Every structure is written in C-alpha cells, then in structure tokens.
Amino acid sequence: MEVPVRFACVFPGQGSQSVGMMKGYADFPVVRDTFNEASDILGKDFWTMAEAGPADKLNLTVNTQPLMLMAGIAVYRAWESLSNTRPVFVAGHSLGEYTALVASGVLAFADALSLVCFRAEIMQQAVPEGVGGMAAILGLDDELVSAVCKQVTDASDGELLEPANFNSPGQIVIAGHRNAVLRGMELATSSGAKRALMLPMSVPSHCSLMGQAAGQMQQKLEQVRLVSPKIPVLHNADVQQHDEPPEIRKILVQQLCKPVRWTETIRSFAAAGVSHVMECGPGKVLAGLNKRIDGNIQSFALTDGVALRHAATVLG
C-alpha cells in the first residue's frame, strides 16, 4: 500500500504582492469567485487592484493585508478543487498566519478579512510614518543579530531595536525606531554581515513598538468567533499548535510584538515527517526561504495553474 505524502501548506504575507499577481490562475473560476466574495464583503474592487495596480496602491498596508489574505485563500481553494488530500500542517508568515487560520477552519473568511483590515489600520496608527523601520540583515547568525539589537537599544536614549523575522539561516529582519534600525545596519555590517538593507515598510512589525496595536487587537479578537482547527496550525510567535480559541486569541495578540520564527517552523515540519511544503499564493518568497532552511524538503510555489496541477500530480 502506498504511503500518503506528508505535506504542509504555507501562506505568504506582505512583500509577495505585485501587479498582475493573479494572472496565472485564470483557468480556476474559484480564484475570481474568492476575490468577488471578498470585494463584496469589504466594498472595494480588489481584483482590479491586483490586476492593474498601480503598485503604490497595492503596497499600502491597508490594501496589502486583505489582498494577500484573499489571494492565499483563493489559491488554497484552487488546490482543493484539484485534490482531496489535505495538508498535515498549515502555517503563515506574519499576515499569512490569518490565511492559515482560515484554511484550517479556525476563522471564517469574512471575519478574517475584517480582522486583517483592522490589523493593518492599528499597526499604522501605532507608530507614525517615518518613526519606525525594518531592515534585512544578511549573512549573520541569529545570536549575533540579537546581540547587535541589544547593543543598539542599550546605547540609545529610549529607542529600541529587536529581531522581527527569523526568516532563514543568515536572513534576519530587524525592526524598531528608524534611527535605531540605521545604527543596527551599520553595526551589523561592521560585525560581518554581507548586506544590510532597509525595507520599504513604514510599520515596524513584530517588535515592542506594536504594544498599543496588540492591546487593540486583543479587544477586537474577543468579538470574533474562533473554533478549534481542523488542520494543525504552527504559530509564528511560539512555533506551537493551539487548539482552544482562548489560546489562539492570545498567540495572535503576541504575534504583533514578537518575532516570526520561520526557520523553526520549517524545521518543526521536517521533524514531524513533512516531506513537501506548498506555498499557496502569488510569489516564491517562502519557497526560497524553505529551501535554505532544509534542502531535504521539497518546496512548491503555487504561482499559477501549471504549478497547481504539478503539485496535485505529485501529492495526489
């Protein structure tokens, strides 16, 4: 008897959006139907935005977060139209965690759309434009980057710098006050980093500056119905599964202020016997990270209909 392939689905967050990003799924009516459903709920034409842009509109946090949620769910529904095989785990990177919660049955699609719109607004309000920043540090290990952040924070007058995304070995994102981020980039480079790149993001996600937003998110989540997951979800903040709604609410609040532990997430998949990971959504950001984390895991980026059908052939 053939043993079923153990695979996981992962969902991207901000940074994977681009003008025309849904063109490759034209032969899946469920994709357009999902966008129509979301646009009706939110009262905004997201399909035209995804197809035609402009890019600056697409990249506004208040548009990007719901857009990436509906794109991820649209692609996951396209997958479901091809296969009856379900993943053994789901996870999402940052915003993508909300997409994973919809896929796992924890959140209704409409509630998730409302939540991520609220999330985007409170994140932007928590730190005024120009005050915060994020940067990618390439070529330093986790401990060195954490030490750089501590050194900058300790030496500053009330400004902070923290690790925000542990994306893969040698690729870590830092976040905090903009001047602290700039000092961190300089110190990381002098400590041996290959590159330090300021990211085009005005919101310093996944650090303590999101404390105000976390408090608002806690109140909002109390008003939303959550149920136990049908598919286990590994959460960003602690790389653990949570089955009870109160625990899930708590970890979603923590997610705003704590780093995304993506390297550990993929390693946890591998330790649980996952052999294949599918990135559900436009772009290949997570597939690229996953290969650098564990080269033994087969990563698929479901960027179009061809990729979807290939994955269905491999995974059944």
What is the C-alpha separation between 37 and 244, in angstroms, rounded? 28
Q: Pick the catalytic residue: 16, 94, 202, 268? A: 94
Q: In the block, which residue shows the tokens 């009870």?
A: 244
To the query of whether residue 94 is one of the catalytic residues in this protein, the response is yes
The amino acid present at 277, given as its one-letter code, is V
Torsion sign across C-alpha atoms 44, 49, 53, 55: positive
Q: Which of 177, 206, 242, 276 is catalytic?
A: 206
Distances in whole angstroms, Cα of residue 236 to Cα of each of 88, 145, 162: 17, 19, 16
CB 257 within 8 A of CB 102: no
43 close to 312: Cβ distance less than 8 angstroms:
no
User: What element of type H or E holds 124?
Assistant: helix 109-126
**Strand ranges, E, within the chain:** 7-11, 89-92, 132-138, 161-168, 171-177, 195-198, 260-261, 276-279, 298-301
The span from the CA of 316 to the CA of 313, in Å, is: 5
**In sequence order, what are the beta bridge partners of 199?**
none
Query: Are β-strands 89-92 and 7-11 bridged in parallel, bridged antiparallel, or unpaired?
Result: parallel
In the residue annotation, 206 being an active-site residue is answered as yes
Q: What is the secondary structure of 77-119 as a DSSP string?
A: HHHHHH--PPPSEEEESTTHHHHHHHHTTSS-HHHHHHHHHHH
Assigned token pair, 266: 């993929």
| Other CB atoms within 10 A of residue 275 CB | 14
For residue 10, what are the β-bridge partners? Answer: 91, 279
- Terminal CA-CA length for the chain: 14
Distance CA 130, CA 141 (A): 28
Where in the sequence numbering do the catalytic residues fall? 94, 206
